[in-house]
Structure 1
Amino acid sequence: MASSNWNLDKSHSNITFSVRHMMIANVRGSFTEFDAVVTADPEDPTTATATITIDAASVDTKDAGRDGHLKSPDFFNVEQHPNMTFKVTKVTSKGGEDYDITGDLTIAGVTKSVTLSGEISGPAKDPWGNEKIAVSASGSLARSEFGLTWNAALETGGVLVSDTIKLNVELQFAKAA
């Protein structure tokens, strides 16, 4: 099978994250606006090229005040850096559907190489004859590496927001006509 273009199926995709709050609980959030450009041969995912673009202002933690703070210069600085991107640089097979997906992640104007552990599934045909593939990937990053260093010390020791951010990406694609 040759490489072809794949369109993001947004209704079956999500990008979520979690971070430790006050060193005792996990706060979860998502990005509601994102897109991806993918060229892939489902028979050999290691040849895939992809760029995911996330609208940083679409952050949603179910708390308008917190979301506003995340959009501010303390974190994403969406006025100066409206988008985050992940550009795949290497896909390495670990056997079966398991892959390491390495790419350049840009947040708030800072780019770092990040490797996510993932599964690449498909191709499969849906009931309407559309060919689909899916990518599930997860990993963690240190937000301080992207210049996101805002924090507050706690009276009991520790900090308000952990440096470690856990990512979870679930993307489904339809083969372009």
Structure 2
Amino acid sequence: MGLTAKVRTRDGWAVSHAVVTVTDMSGTQVLRAEADEEGAVRDTTDLAPGAYTVIVTAVGYAPAAASALVTGSGRAEVGTVTLARQGGSELPPPGPWTVDPAHSTVGAVARHLGISSVRGRFTDFTASIEVAPDDVTESRVEAVIRAASIDTGNAMRDTHLRSADFLDVENHPEITYRSTGLSPAGPDRWTVHGELSLHGVVRPVDLDLAHLGTGADPWGGTRAAFRATAELHRDDFALRYNQILQAGIAAVGTTLKVELDIQAVRGEGLPAV
């Protein structure tokens, strides 16, 4: 007897802090129950036969309603109720996530000679993500990049980029990013507000973040994929070296486009694979 239900996100993850309220046709509340850690609701309260309305709420999610018909058995099986993030934006399940550098790319693109682009990436970095359980906008991101790991595919150019003309890796060996906030920007899109420390200068930098999906990996873990972009101005970080060509064109553009392709593994630390 009683009511049973499952509360899930659109990706199928349990919403463990959901609350289920049941009202009769007159609008009177007859039952209130909380979901367990698996998002399951199991309540043994006797319900009289008839039609009921089931309302499911959870902090950070838009409420959902469903109908339930109680038969002579006194049992109501609501089934699975799907909740959408408030504002229609989704993130992976709450908790810690560790960025997998072997399956992630931290890159940047700069204009070269005014007619083409040069791409580079950093090969040595660590990062972590903490998805908040209640207010998702309180989620956090932290990343540390070893500046000397810059790789543009040209050894001479990379040596110059490591020098005092550009990254000055001897005096500024690390590039760090720490988020200060998160706001929804559309379905599965977010704006990450944070501070970037580069070349000894700290500036606010926003990331345009897209959550690409979440799923199981071949090693028994759970992975989430993200893509993020940002635009930096070299002058903001005292990276002012340049060479002006005869036509008045700068050899290196003043704007950098940051491109991040990220895979994160659920939990703290990476599995041995």
TM-score normalised by structure 2 residue count: 0.61
Runs of 4+ deviating beyond 3 Å: 41-45
Within 5 A, what are the aligned runs for 1:20-31?
Answer: 20-31=111-122
Q: What letter corresponds to residue 249 of structure 2 in structure 1?
A: G
CA RMSD of aligned residues (A): 1.8
Instruction: Using the TM superposition, give the Cα deviation of residue 127 of structure 1 relative to its aligned residue in structure 2, in angstroms.
Output: 3.8
- Cα deviation, 1:73-117, whole Å, max 9, x if unaligned, reads 111110011000111111111122111112101111101001121
SS of match in other structure, 2:202: strand
State the alpha-carbon separation in 2 of the partners of residues 128 and 146 from structure 1: 41
Kindly indicate whether the alpha-carbon contact (under 8 Å) linking 1:41 and 1:47 is maintained by their aligned counterparts in 2. yes
Q: Look up the match of 1:139.
A: 230
The partner residue of 1:119 within 210, 216, 236 is 210
Q: What letter corresponds to residue 233 of structure 2 in structure 1?
A: A
State the alpha-carbon separation in 2 of the partners of residues 53 and 22 from structure 1: 30
The partner residue of 2:177 within 79, 86, 92 is 86
State the alpha-carbon separation in 2 of the partners of residues 133 and 43 from structure 1: 19
The partner residue of 2:144 within 53, 75, 82 is 53
Q: Percent identity?
A: 35
Instruction: Using the TM superposition, give the Cα deviation of residue 126 of structure 1 relative to its aligned residue in structure 2, in angstroms.
Output: 2.2
Distance 1:42 1:33, change over 3 A: farther
Q: What letter corresponds to residue 126 of structure 1 in structure 2?
A: D
Distance 1:107 1:154, change over 3 A: same
Kindly indicate whether the alpha-carbon contact (under 8 Å) linking 1:140 and 1:166 is maintained by their aligned counterparts in 2. yes
SS of match in other structure, 1:66: helix
Unpaired segments ≥5 residues, structure 1: none
State the alpha-carbon separation in 1 of the partners of residues 226 and 180 from structure 2: 15
State the alpha-carbon separation in 2 of the partners of residues 42 and 141 from structure 1: 31
Kindly indicate whether the alpha-carbon contact (under 8 Å) linking 1:13 and 1:172 is maintained by their aligned counterparts in 2. yes
1:150 aligned onto 2:245: no
State the alpha-carbon separation in 1 of the partners of residues 243 and 249 from structure 2: 9
Instruction: Using the TM superposition, give the Cα deviation of residue 44 of structure 1 relative to its aligned residue in structure 2, in angstroms.
Output: 6.1
State the alpha-carbon separation in 1 of the partners of residues 98 and 216 from structure 2: 15
SS of match in other structure, 2:242: coil
The total of aligned residue pairs comes to 177
**Structure with larger RCO (C-alpha < 8 A, sep 6+):** 1
Kindly indicate whether the alpha-carbon contact (under 8 Å) linking 2:213 and 2:226 is maintained by their aligned counterparts in 1. no
1:171 aligned onto 2:252: no
SS of match in other structure, 1:68: helix
Distance 1:42 1:16, change over 3 A: farther
The partner residue of 2:103 within 6, 9, 12 is 12
1:62 aligned onto 2:134: no
State the alpha-carbon separation in 2 of the partners of residues 153 and 22 from structure 1: 9
Unpaired segments ≥5 residues, structure 2: 1-14, 16-92, 269-273
Q: Look up the match of 1:108.
A: 199
- Cα deviation, 1:31-83, whole Å, max 9, x if unaligned, reads 00011022114886422111111000000001111101110111111001100
